[in-house]
Chains A and B, each alone.
Chain A
Amino acid sequence: MKQRSPALSRLFNGFVFLFLYLPIVVLIIFSFNDSKSRTVWSGFSFHWYTELFHDEEILSAFSTTLTVSVLASVIATIVGTAAAIGFFSMKRRPRNLLMAINNIPMTNADIITGVSLMLLFVFTGNLLGFSLGFGTLLVAHITFNIPYVVLAVMPKLRQLDPNLGEAAMDLGATPWQAFWKVLMPELRPGIFNGLLIAFTLSIDDFVISYFTAGSEVSTLAMQIYAMTRKRISPEVNALSTILFLTVLILLIIVNLREVRQQQAKDRQIRALHKDAAK
């Protein structure tokens, strides 16, 4: 497709990036502010970072968030992948029905998922004697993560050559070997995507955690929300800066790895060509 006016389009896209990043930049700048103000600059200081690292509530909320996100995304990926495989083997009618139910947590508003799960947990909690806590939080996260995993794996299943499994078993593989060594590698990109999406959603979630975590545990998002209902300390800014830098560094590392892998592949291909040419 030909470009009409690259300058204009770059300008527009530039403004969009500016819009997206301006608030983050403001957050980061004021995390170094000497005074408590979030809007008036009075000098450079690391004060809020030290405050942050002494704030037990935020630190424990952060660890809870990480733990829940990792656990939920891993469990969701395992269960979701298995489910996708199972669904794929079903006839159209039952599969469509189950996929429709699968889509409910995805398309439902977060608040309805959160409220409905809270009703369930409190109802059964009164009967069985447990209260809202880490367990219910984890279950809730798994519940809204699995549909995304299923949706990420299904397309890969559809792309699979249906004869691959058969071919492997003809060549002497057991069904388990056929699955693990032949099919899984094909599914891996979808599974990995699912894992990534699940993890991102868990980290970012606020509403569902708000209704299902109860009083004993708190996620980072819940903690931040609670802080905005009171006097706001620029600790929040410090927290934002750290999160932002962490994600940025992670992304850079992941992409550097990909670039290096790509370069290695290219080198291999060139070497092969050279050999072939000899």
Chain B
Amino acid sequence: MSLLEISDLRIRFGARPVVEMDRLEVDRAQVVGLAGESGSGKSMTTLAILGLAGTVGAHVEGSIQLDGQQLVDLPQRAMRDIRGRRVAIIFQSPAMAFNPVFRVGRVFLQALKLHGTQSQSDAEERAAAALRSVFLSPDLLHRYPSQLSGGQLQRISIAIALALRCDLLIADEPTSALDVTVQGDVLELLRGLRDQKEMGILFISHDLAVVAELCDHVAIMRAGRVVEAGPTDRVMAQPQDAYTRELLAAVPRIVVTGANS
């Protein structure tokens, strides 16, 4: 059984369907890319997995199973335990994910305490260890979000997921707002989570080149549907769907021609 199994997922606003996803699976120690343009339903799918689709007024039907447990229609109290402890999410703009008036350490420790870490010293120890494993100094916990760079904040978001020992990480465009050299560092961290912590990662992105570098499998979404899915190398090398081909053709490439010199 896969870590995450989505089948016959239907998300709609009133009568209007926005996602019709027949199948999507994420295994342990696997990165699955969900790629598509704005409005394709990528983010709605992540909201449904987190049990938050209702907060934006959407209605969810079908099946979302985490380790065999059905998440659709799970009571919010039970869902709160799953969010954070089993499933974590990191966002495109980490600056908006942190409350600007609190030091990041306070946010970090609060997350740990809400999810069962009892003592202050235990929580501090776990936070420090998690920061070290994302190559940051634990001293940064004393800073405010405004005193940290986007790359540092994104790594701290990842560290929180790590400290909570989540099984599934949803990464929603986690590098789109970062500089390209910093993006490389974050991608490397995600690979580490997959290979060393055996985390399953659902990686949402519009950038197929990033997907090609990171993901084991990829599902291409358009207008709420998965138009093509499969092993990343196969989809990139032999795209079957016309839209996949269009997306691939749209990725700017480094072309070096003699005409330049």
Q: Is B a genuine binding partner of A? A: no
Enumerate chain A interface residues (CB-CB to B < 8 A).
Answer: none
